[in-house]
C-alpha cells in the first residue's frame, strides 16, 4: 500500500542523507569560521578584567530562554490542533528549528559579523538564530500537513539564507528599524510561506478534509502553545533591544498591547461567530492553512501593519520625545544624517524590499519543492501522522477503521 | 433548544458590547493618565545617565515572567480538570486576566502612585497587575462553571477595584506588611469569591452533576497547571520584595516550604483517602467548587493562617534578628514609630479589614450578577463548554448522545 | 481483590508513616543546622553594605528556575508516555523531588559547606539540591512502574546520601571537574538505577506487557516533558558554572550541541526504524525501562562519554587556550599543582569511582527494596495507576473491562 510506503515520503533514504549532509556541512563551517566572542571566550574576557555583571549574558539570557520556549513549545504545540498530526507538528517543528538555528548562525554571521575571516558568537547569536527560526516556523504553518520533512528541510535551507539577505538589506543597507521583527520575521515568514503554499497548490486536497478538524483534547494541547506564545511575547520583543530603558519599555508596551488585543479578539469572536458562540480555534485557527489565509491574518497583515506604523513613528520622531535616547532608537536621525521624514521613507522601502524578496524566495522555494525527485504526501494522506511516525496501536486502529470505511464508500 | 441559544449566555450582544466598552474606557484612561516612569521613558532614563544595570527591569523581569506563567498557564490549566469545561477554563481565565491586568494598572495607579495627575508605570506595575489578577482568578475558581463570561467580567471589574481599595487601606493607611500576598491576594480573593458563590447559590445544581467529574487526560492537563503554580511560587513571593537579600531569602524560604508541604500532603492524602489510595485531585481538587470549600481550603484558610503568622513574626521582630535589614522589612519599627507589638496589632487589624471588605464586596458582586438582565447558564448546563464554544464534532457528538440518553431517562 | 488492596502497595500505613518520619527528621535537622548565608541573611547582607546587584541571586536565579522546570515538568511529563501510568509518573516524580531537594540540602551541606556546626544556604543550595534530585529521577526512570512509592522514597533516601558522598570524593578529594554533571548526575544516576532495577528483576513482567505501550495523547504529554528538558538544558549546564564568561560559554555550547544532536537523531531514527518511519518515542523511549536499557542509552553511556571527553579536554588544557581563565576552569593546573596530563588521570579516576559507588549503592538499594516488609506491585499490576490513585471513572471502567476480558481469556 502506498500509504505505508516509506518511499513515498522519502524517509528511508532522502531524510537521513539530507540530515547528515547538512549537519556535516554545518560542523565543518563552524570549525573553520565560528569563534567565541569576547564575552564567551575565557582568555578574552579575563584579559580585559570585566566585572561578571557586565557580561551581556545577564542582560539577555532570561529573555532568550523565553524566546526559546516560544519556538519549541509555543510554535510546536500551537500546531497540534489537527486531530491526526500532533507528532508531525511537534516533531517537524523540532527538526526544522534544530537545523535553522545552526544554519542561521552561519548565514547571519557571514552577513552581519564577519571580522577577519571569523564569526564571533554569544547570547545575541542565540537570540538572532531563534528569531530566524521563528520566521521559518511561520512559513511551516502555511504548508503544514502537505509537505514531507525532506521538503521542509530544503525550504528551511533556502528561507534561512534569504532571511539573512533580507535582514542585511534592511538593517545594514537601508538603516531601517524593525521593532518586534514586523518586517524581517512576520512579514517575511508569512509571505515566503504563502507563496510556497501557492506554488504547491493541490486541487484535490479535499480528500484529506476529514483530517483537518481538531478534536477536544488536541485543541487543549494547542492552547498550551498559544498561551506560551502569548505570555512570552514581551520577552520576544524586548530580547534584542537596547539594554536599560529600551528593553524595559518594549516589554511593558507589549504586555499592555496584548491585554487590549485579547479583549478585542474575544469581542469580535463572539460578535462574528455562528450562533454567537466563541470559537476556541479563533485564537489559534489562524494557523489552519488549507486556505493558508491563516498565516496571512496572524503574521502577514499584522507584520505589514506593524511596518507601516513603524514608518509613521519614525516620521514623527523628535528630540523632544526621546531626549538623549533618540540616539539609541533612531541613530541616523539623532546624528543628523537623516530627517525624520526621510527615515520614514526608508522604512517603507524596507517593507517593499521584504515583500519582494519573500515572494521571489517563496516562488523559487515552491518550485524547488516540486522537483520530481522529492516525494510529497499524496492528496489523501495529508494531515496524517501515520505516514511518517510509528503511531501507537490504539490510534492506528482508528485510522485503519476509518480507511476501511472510506474504501467501502468508494466502492459503493 | 435553550441549550444552543446564544441568548441564554449573553454571548451574541452583551459580551461584545461589554468587552468593547471596557477596552475603550481603558484606552481613554490610559491615554490621559498613564506615563512611562523614569526607568521606561527614554528621555528620563538617558537624562540621568544611569548604568543599564541599575534598571529595575533586570531585578524583576525574570520573576515577573514566572508570575505571568502562573497566571495564564498555571491557573488556566489548573481548572481544566472538569471533563467538559477545558475551553471555558482556559478561555475565560484568559479573558478575565487580559481585562484585569489592564484595569488593575489603572486602579492601583490612581490609589498608589498618582503624582501630579499621572500614573507612572514600569515592571512593578506589571507584577502588581498580575498579582491582582491572581486574586480575581482565585474568585473565578469559586464560581467556575456556573457563571457566564459577562457575569465574570463584571465580577472582575468590581473585584479589581475593591482589591485596590483593600490594598490601599492595608499598605498605605495601616502600614501593614503582607508577605506573599496572604491577605491582599489569597484571603481577599478567596472570601470575595466564596461570598459571590454563596449569593449565587443554586439548589438544583445536581442537574449538572455528571459533568463535574474529571477524566483521565483532563487530570493530566490540570497537572500542568498545578506544577507550574508550584514551581514558580518562589518567584511569585519574591517578585515584589526588596532587592538583594530580600528577594533571595523569600525565594529560598518558599522553595523549602513547598518541599515540606508536599511531603506532608502526600502523607495526609494516603492516610485519609478511601482504601488508602492517593487522590490526584487531592493536589488540585481544592478548586472543585460545587461546595466551594475548595477555594476556602486552598487560599482562604492558608491566607488567614499566613496573616496570623505574619502578625506573630511582626510581634517578635527585633533589631538583633534583622540587623540593619529591619529598616526594609518593618520600617515603622526600625524608625521607632511603632513597637513590635503595636505592629502585630496593626497586622491583625489588616486581616480583619480584608475579611470585611471581601465579604461586603462579594455580597454586592453576587447581587450584581443576579440582575435579571444578566443571563447565566441553566442548572442543567453548568460545567459545559458547548454553550459557549464551538466544540469539535467528535466531542459534541458525545454530548448529544449523553443528552439523548438523559431525555430517555426522564421520559421513562 | 488483591488489585484494589491498599495493603499490597503499603499506601495506607507505610507511606504516611515514612513521609511524616522523613519530614519530621528534616525539620529537626534544618532547625539545628541550617542558616541563611551572607546573601540571604538580612543582618549579614546589610552589615557589609553590598549593592543589591552583587547578590548571587541575580546571577543564578533565572537559570535555577529553568532547572526547576526541568525537574518537575520535564522529568514529570517525560514519563507520562505509559498509557495507564500518567498520575504515578507525575505524582511520584513530585513526591521524590519534594523529598530529595530537602534531604540533599542537608547531605550536601554536611559534606561541602559545614562551617562551625552550621550549613549556610542560598540560591546555589537550591541549584545543587535540584541537580541531586535530577540524579534520583534518572534512577526513577529505570524502575518506573515496578516499584511502590514507599520503595521509591527509600531508594531516594539512600541515593541522595551516596550522591553527596560521590560528589565529595570527586570534587573535594580528587579535584575533578565535572562539566554538566556527566559523572555525578548522569553516570551516577543511571548506573545506580540500573543496578537497582537488575536486583529487582521480575521474570514474569510480561503479565503487564499490555500496559507498557503508549497511546496517542500520552505521547503528546510526554513531548511536553521532552521539549522542556531540551530547551532548558543550556540553563542546566550553565547554572552552577563560574559567573561571567563561564556561564555564557556553557549555555552557548549546550545550545549548539543540542541542535546538532537533534538533526543526527532524526537521521538515525529514519535510517534505523522499521519501514523508514520516524518513531516518536525514539526521542523519549530511552526511558522505557522494562529492559531498562533506556536509561543506559540516555544517561549512562552519554555520561561516561562526557566524562571521557572531559578527561581529554583536561589533558589538552593550556594557558594559551584559556588565558587567565584557566584559573577558573582548571585551577589546579593554573596554579601549577598538577600537569594537564595528571588532571586527565584524576578525571578518569573520578569516573571509575563514580561507577563503583553507583553500582555498590544500587546493589544495596535493590536489596533494601526487596525486604519482605516492603510490598511492591504484583507482576500483573505494573505500569498501572489504579493501584495507587483514585482514577476517574471513565478510565477505570476501561481498565475493569480490560481485566474482565483478561479473566475470560485465562479461563478459556
Task: Note the pLDDT tens digit of each residue in B221-235.
Answer: 888 988 898 899 999
C232–chain A Cβ distance below 8 A for any pair: yes
Q: Is A65 on the interface with C (CB under 8 A)?
A: yes
Chain C positions in Cβ-Cβ contact with residue A12 (cut-off 8 Å)? 270-271, 275-276
* CB-based contact, A334 to chain B, within 8 Å: no
* Distance between CA atoms of residues C149 and C95, nearest Å: 8
Angle made by CA atoms C378, C383, C385, in degrees to the nearest 5: 95
Query: Under an 8 A CB cutoff, do B45 and A264 touch?
Result: no
User: Given this model, what pLDDT does residue B278 score?
Assistant: 61
Q: Chain A contacts of C239, Cβ < 8 Å?
A: none
Under DSSP, the state recorded for A147 is S
Q: Please list, in sequence order, all residues whose beta carbon lies within 8 angstroms of the beta carbon of residue C122, skipping any fewer than 6 positions away.
A: B248, B252, C36, C37, C39, C40, C56, C57
What residues 149-208 of chain C have any CB closer than 8 A to a CB of chain B?
149
pLDDT in tens, B31-77: 999 999 988 888 888 877 678 888 889 999 999 999 999 999 999 89
Q: Which chains touch B (3 or more CB pairs under 8 A)?
A: A, C
Sheet holding A34-36, edge to edge: A34-36, A118-121, A114-115
CA of A268, closest CA in chain B: separation in Å?
7
**In the 8-state DSSP scheme, what is residue A383?**
T
Residues facing C278 on adjacent strands: A389
Q: Which residue has the higher pLDDT, A234 or A81?
A: A234
What's the pLDDT score for residue B2? 39
Span B158-181, mean pLDDT? 92
Residue A330 pLDDT greater than 70, yes or no: yes
The tens digit of pLDDT for each residue in C137-182 reads 999 988 888 899 999 999 999 999 999 999 999 999 999 988 778 8
pLDDT of residue A24: 94
Give residue-wise pLDDT tens across range C117-143.
999 999 999 999 999 999 999 999 888
Whether A393 shows a pLDDT value over 90: the answer reads: no
pLDDT in the model for residue B1: 35
Check: CB of residue C167 under 8 Å from CB of residue C184: yes
Calculate ∠ Cα B218-B224-B225, nearest 5°: 95
pLDDT at A7 over 50: no
B287 confidence band (pLDDT: 50, 70, 90): very low
pTM of the model: 0.89
Would you call A40 and C249 a contact, using CB atoms and an 8 Å cutoff? yes
C228-265: per-residue pLDDT in tens? Answer: 988 999 999 999 888 888 899 999 989 998 888 888 88
Residues A171-192 pLDDT 10s: 999 999 887 788 999 999 999 9
Confidence band for B408, pLDDT divided at 50, 70 and 90? low
Residue A291: is its pLDDT beyond 80? no
pLDDT of residue B62: 93
pLDDT band at C278 (very low <50, low <70, confident <90, very high): low
Chain A: touching chains (3 or more CB pairs < 8 Å) = B, C
- Say what the pLDDT of residue A288 is: 39
Residue B332 in contact with partner chain A when CB distance is under 8 A: no
What mean pLDDT comes out for the span A26-34?
A: 95
Instruction: Cell 481585562: give the residue.
Output: B99
pLDDT in tens, B81-99: 787 888 888 999 999 999 9
The average confidence (pLDDT) of chain C is 83
Residue A340 grid cell: 525624520
What pLDDT band is residue C198 in, cutting at 50, 70 and 90? confident
Distances in Å between the Cα of A184 and the Cα atoms of A171, A172, B229, B361 are: 9, 13, 35, 49
Whether pLDDT at B321 is above 60: yes
Torsion sign (Cα): C186, C189, C193, C195: positive
- The listed range with the strongest mean pLDDT (A68-77, B390-399, C11-20, C379-388) is A68-77
Burial B297-315 (b: 16+ CB within 10 A, else e): ebbbebbbebbeebbebbb
Determine contact: C57 vs chain B, CB below 8 A.
Answer: yes
Tell if the CB–CB gap between B126 and A266 is shorter than 8 Å. Answer: no
- State the pLDDT at residue A132: 96
Q: How far does the CA of residue A211 sit from the closest CA of chain B (Å)? A: 12
Cross-chain residue pair C394–B275, CB shorter than 8 Å: no
Average confidence (pLDDT) over B329-336 = 81
Does the beta carbon of C256 lie under 8 angstroms from any beta carbon of chain A?
yes
The whole-number average pLDDT for the span B140-151 is 90
Task: Compute the nearest-CA separation of A357 from chain B (Å).
Answer: 34
What are B179-233's pLDDT values in tens digits? 778 899 999 999 999 899 888 888 777 777 777 777 778 888 888 988 898 899 9
**Under an 8 A CB cutoff, do A245 and B40 touch?**
yes
The pLDDT of residue C365 is 95
Residue B285 pLDDT class (50, 70, 90 cuts): very low
CA-nearest residue to C386 within chain B is B277
pLDDT at B284 over 50: no
Reported as a pLDDT band with limits 50, 70 and 90, residue A277 is low
pLDDT at B4: 44
**Using CA atoms, how far apart are residues A77 and A70, in angstroms rounded to an integer?**
10
Question: Does residue B48 belong to the interface with chain A, where contact is any CB pair within 8 Å?
Answer: no
Closest CA to B101 of A327, C367, A258: A258
Report how far residue A17's alpha carbon sits from residue A21's, in angstroms, rounded to the nearest whole number.
6
| pLDDT over 50 (residue B291) | no
> Residues B210-220, buried b or exposed e (16+ Cβ, 10 A)?
ebbbbbbbbbb
- A267 inside 8 A of chain B by CB: yes
Contacts of A76 in chain C (CB under 8 A): 223, 227
For the record, the C-alpha cell of C359 comes out as 553500582
Smallest Cβ–Cβ distance between A390 and the set C262, C268, C277 belongs to: C277
Query: So what's the pLDDT on residue A356?
Result: 95
What pLDDT does C3 receive? 42
CA C35 remoteness from chain centre? 26
pLDDT for A19: 92
pLDDT band at B3; cut points 50, 70, 90 = very low
Specify the DSSP element, H or E, that contains C104.
helix C86-112
Between B100 and B273, the higher pLDDT residue? B100
The fraction of chain C above a pLDDT of 70, given in percent, is 86
How far off is chain C from A379, nearest CA to CA, in Å?
Answer: 19
Give tens-digit pLDDT for B115-140.
Answer: 899 999 999 999 999 999 999 999 99
Contact C211, C84 (CB under 8 A): yes
- Structure confidence at residue A338 as a pLDDT band (50, 70, 90): confident
| pLDDT value of position A187 | 92
Q: Judge: C43–B322 Cβ closer than 8 Å, yes or no.
A: yes
A19 to chain C, any CB pair closer than 8 A? The answer is yes
Give the lowest-confidence range in B357-371, B396-410, C171-185, C300-314: B396-410
Question: Does position C282 have pLDDT exceeding 60, yes or no?
Answer: no
Q: SS3 helix, strand, coil % of chain C, rounded to 5?
A: 75, 5, 20
The mean-pLDDT minimum among A51-65, A66-80, A313-327, C60-74 falls in A313-327
What pLDDT is stored for residue A135 in this prediction? 95
From the list A218, A248, A278, the residue facing B388 with the nearest CB is A278
Cβ distance C395 to B216 less than 8 Å, yes or no, reads yes
Task: For residues A310-320, give the mean pLDDT.
Answer: 81
pLDDT of residue A272 exceeding 60, the answer is yes
Q: What is the pLDDT of residue C276?
A: 57
| Whole-number average pLDDT of chain B | 83
Residue pair B146/B123 in contact (Cβ under 8 Å)? The answer is no
DSSP per-residue letters across B320-382: HHHGGGHHHHSHHHHTTSS-HHHHHHHHHHHHHHHHHHHHHHHHHHHHHHT-TTS----GGGT
For chain C, the straight-line distance linking the first and the last C-alpha, in angstroms and rounded, comes to 21
* Angstrom distance (rounded) from CA A263 to CA B356: 31
What is the distance between the alpha carbons of residues C287 and C81, in angstroms, rounded to a whole number? 9
- Report the complex ipTM: 0.87
pLDDT band at C294 (very low <50, low <70, confident <90, very high): low
* Among B40, B136, B156, B228, the residue to mutate for chain A (most A Cβ within 10 A): B40
- Nearest-by-Cβ selection for A249 from B16, B42, B217: B42
Distances (CA, A) of A98 to A152, B84, B212: 13, 37, 42
Q: What are phi and psi of B300, to 5 degrees?
A: -65, -65
| Chain B nearest CA to A353, separation (Å) | 30
With pLDDT > 70 as the criterion, what percentage of chain B qualifies?
86
Is residue A321 within 8 angstroms of chain C, CB to CB?
no
Contact (Cβ atoms closer than 8 angstroms) between residue B24 and residue B34: no
Which are the contacts of A155, defined by CB distance < 8 A and separation ≥ 6?
A136, A139, A143, A147, A196, A365, A368, A369
Asked if B323's CB is within 8 angstroms of C39's CB, the reply is no
Q: Which residue has the higher pLDDT, C398 or C237?
A: C237
Residue B402 predicted with pLDDT over 60? no
Confirm or reject contact between A311 and chain C (CB < 8 A).
Answer: no
Percentage, residues of chain A above pLDDT 70: 86
Longest dimension (CA), chain C: 81
pLDDT in tens, C298-355: 777 788 888 888 888 888 877 777 777 777 778 888 888 888 888 999 999 999 999 9
pLDDT tier, A129 (very low <50, low <70, confident <90, very high otherwise)? very high
Helix axes A340-369, A301-316, angle to 10 degrees: 160
Test mutation, C67, C244, C319, C333, chain A, max A CBs within 10 A: C244
pLDDT for residue B274: 59
pLDDT of residue C393: 59
Cβ-based neighbours of B310, under 8 Å, separated by 6 or more? B177, B178, B179, B182, B183, B347
Amino acid at each position: 500500500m502506498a500509504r505505508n510506503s516509506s518511499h513515498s515520503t522519502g524517509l528511508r533514504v532522502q531524510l537521513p542523507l539530507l540530515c547528515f549532509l547538512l549537519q556535516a556541512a554545518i560542523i565543518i563551517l563552524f570549525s573553520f569560521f565560528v569563534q567565541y566572542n569576547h564575552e564567551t571566550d575565557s582568555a578574552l574576557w579575563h584579559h580585559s578584567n570585566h566585572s561578571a555583571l557586565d557580561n551581556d549574558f545577564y542582560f539577555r539570557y532570561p529573555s532568550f530562554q523565553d524566546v526559546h520556549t516560544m519556538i519549541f513549545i509555543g510554535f510546536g504545540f500551537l500546531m497540534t490542533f489537527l486531530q491526526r498530526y500532533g507528532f508531525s507538528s511537534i516533531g517537524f517543528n523540532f527538526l526544522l528549528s534544530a537545523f535553522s538555528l545552526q544554519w542561521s548562525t552561519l548565514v547571519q554571521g557571514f552577513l552581519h559579523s564577519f571580522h577577519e575571516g571569523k564569526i564571533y558568537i554569544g547570547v545575541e547569536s542565540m537570540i538572532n538564530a531563534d528569531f530566524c527560526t521563528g520566521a521559518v516556523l511561520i512559513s511551516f504553518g502555511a504548508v503544514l500537513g502537505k509537505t514531507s520533512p525532506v521538503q521542509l528541510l530544503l525550504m528551511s535551507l533556502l528561507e534561512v539564507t534569504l532571511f539573512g539577505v533580507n535582514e542585511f538589506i534592511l538593517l545594514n543597507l537601508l538603516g531601517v528599524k524593525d521593532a518586534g521583527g514586523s518586517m524581517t520575521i512576520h512579514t517575511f515568514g508569512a509571505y515566503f510561506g504563502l507563496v510556497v503554499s501557492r506554488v504547491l497548490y493541490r486541487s484535490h486536497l479535499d480528500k484529506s478534509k476529514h483530517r483537518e478538524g481538531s478534536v477536544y483534547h488536541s485543541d487543549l494541547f494547542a492552547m498550551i502553545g498559544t498561551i506560551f506564545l502569548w505570555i512570552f511575547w514581551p520577552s520576544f520583543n524586548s530580547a534584542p533591544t537596547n539594554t536599560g530603558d529600551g528593553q524595559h519599555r518594549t516589554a511593558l508596551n507589549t504586555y499592555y498591547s496584548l491585554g487590549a488585543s485579547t479583549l478585542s479578539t474575544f469581542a469580535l469572536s463572539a460578535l462574528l461567530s455562528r450562533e454567537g458562540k466563541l470559537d476556541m480555534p479563533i485564537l489559534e485557527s489562524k494557523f489552519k492553512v488549507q486556505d493558508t489565509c491563516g498565516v496571512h491574518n496572524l503574521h502577514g497583515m499584522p507584520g505589514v501593519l506593524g511596518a507601516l506604523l513603524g514608518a509613521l513613528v519614525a516620521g514623527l520622531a523628535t528630540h523632544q520625545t526621546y531626549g538623549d535616547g533618540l540616539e539609541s532608537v533612531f541613530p541616523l536621525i539623532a546624528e543628523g544624517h537623516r530627517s525624520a521624514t526621510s527615515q520614514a521613507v526608508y522604512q517603507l522601502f524596507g517593507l517593499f524590499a521584504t515583500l519582494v524578496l519573500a515572494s521571489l524566495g517563496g516562488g523559487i522555494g515552491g518550485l524547488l519543492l516540486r522537483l520530481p525527485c522529492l516525494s510529497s504526501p499524496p492528496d489523501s494522506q495529508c494531515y496524517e501522522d501515520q505516514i511518517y511516525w510509528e503511531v501507537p496501536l490504539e490510534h492506528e486502529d482508528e485510522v485503519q477503521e476509518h480507511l476501511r470505511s472510506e474504501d467501502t464508500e468508494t466502492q459503493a
